[in-house]
């Protein structure tokens, strides 16, 4: 690959599908006008609302999300990653699915989120993703792109499971994509340090688009979409408002860090 600019989009998604897609389109346009050729959207970019409403709209959300990603990738001639939207399966559940589309609008690869967010937080919020979502049963893929490098897929809560990213790095990943809707309560303490850890331990770039602000009821996201280099340096931070974090992905920097800190070659256990 040659050097290029990547964008991690930060959104404030809501239960309004059309409004969310309009917001995403505006931010994709902003990223492209600043030179980005790989653009990433956060988890729940198309819909972030009550689980019952999500399930009743799941077919519509899935169809419109996939069509949106295809059209935007074609229109702007970019690689576009949409991190996390519901895709219905038989029964009464969905897969939380992330998809990567190429500049020709072709779907390159997908990933069904494996680790589901079932937690009771000290701030009084309870999340039980498994009530409506089936866990994926396959390890996430690495897509080997000549233009953008080897892209390793994941979604949000996965970031707390380093073995998943070790799998991606062993499969040759250069860039780890970590789209999220990280809670405000956990994000303030854990978001940035987890992303930096995944970058450092795997000597990979990390591109982490994010949700921010209040969405519905008590649901609030941390924000701070980040791009982190293989040394763990934060290259771009979108702050706490909707916007775009943009930074260069440089293969020379990747090679330099891996030469100076060849930890991937020193693995003893796997």
**Residue 201 among the catalytic residues:** no
Please report which helix (H) or strand (E) contains residue 160, including its range.
none
- pLDDT class of 78 with cuts at 50, 70, 90: very high
Q: What is the DSSP letter of 242?
A: S
* pTM, 2 dp: 0.97
Report phi then psi at 130, rounded to 5: -70, -10
- Alpha-carbon distances of 133 from 118, 150, 163, rounded to whole Å: 11, 28, 22
**Residue 156 among the catalytic residues:** yes
pLDDT digits (tens, 9 = 90+) for 156-204: 999 999 999 999 999 999 999 999 999 999 999 999 999 999 999 999 9
pLDDT digits (tens, 9 = 90+) for 3-52: 999 999 999 999 999 999 999 999 999 999 999 999 999 999 999 999 99
Give the whole-number percent of the chain exceeding pLDDT 90: 94
**Residue 204 among the catalytic residues:** no
Q: What is the DSSP letter of 132?
A: T
Task: Determine whether 169 is exposed, middle or buried from the number of CB atoms within 10 Å of its CB (0-12, 13-18, 19+).
Answer: buried
Q: Which of 64, 70, 112, 156 is catalytic?
A: 156
Kindly report the CATH number assigned to the domain that includes residue 253.
Answer: 3.60.110.10
Tell me the residue range of the domain where 249 lies.
Answer: 4-266
- Number of domains into which the chain is organized: 1
Q: Which of 43, 66, 112, 204 is catalytic?
A: 43
Cβ neighbours of 31 (radius 10 Å): 26
Please report which helix (H) or strand (E) contains residue 151, including its range.
strand 149-153
Q: Specify whether the backbone of 105 is left (phi greater than 0), alpha (psi in -120 to 50) or beta.
A: left
Which alpha helices (DSSP H) does the chain contain, by range?
17-33, 51-56, 58-76, 162-170, 184-202, 251-260
Q: Which of 64, 113, 147, 201 is catalytic?
A: 113
């Amino acid at each position: 690959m040659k050097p290029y600019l990547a964008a991690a989009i930060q959104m404030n998604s809501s239960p309004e599908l059309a409004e969310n897609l309009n917001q995403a389109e505006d931010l994709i346009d902003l990223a492209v006008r600043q030179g980005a050729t790989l653009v990433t959207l956060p988890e729940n970019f198309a819909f972030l609302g009550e689980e019952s409403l999500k399930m009743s709209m799941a077919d519509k959300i899935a169809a419109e999300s996939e069509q949106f990603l295809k059209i935007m990738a074609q229109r702007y001639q970019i690689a576009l990653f949409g991190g996390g939207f519901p895709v219905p399966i038989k029964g009464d559940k969905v897969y939380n699915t992330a998809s990567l589309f190429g500049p020709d609008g072709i779907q390159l690869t997908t990933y069904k989120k494996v680790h589901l967010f079932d937690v009771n937080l000290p701030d009084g919020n309870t999340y039980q993703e498994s009530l409506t979502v089936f866990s994926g049963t396959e390890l996430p893929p690495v897509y080997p792109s000549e233009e953008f490098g080897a892209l390793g897929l994941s979604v949000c809560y996965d970031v707390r499971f380093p073995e998943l990213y070790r799998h991606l790095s062993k499969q040759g990943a250069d860039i780890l994509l970590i789209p999220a809707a990280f809670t405000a309560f956990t994000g303030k303490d854990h978001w940035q340090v987890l992303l930096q850890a995944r970058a450092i331990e795997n000597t990979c770039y990390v591109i982490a688009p994010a949700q921010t602000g209040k969405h519905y009821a008590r649901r609030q996201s941390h924000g701070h979409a980040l791009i982190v280099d293989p040394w763990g340096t934060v290259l771009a931070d979108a702050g706490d408002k909707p916007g775009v974090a943009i930074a260069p992905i440089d293969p020379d920097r990747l090679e330099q860090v891996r030469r100076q800190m060849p930890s991937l070659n020193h693995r003893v256990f796997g």
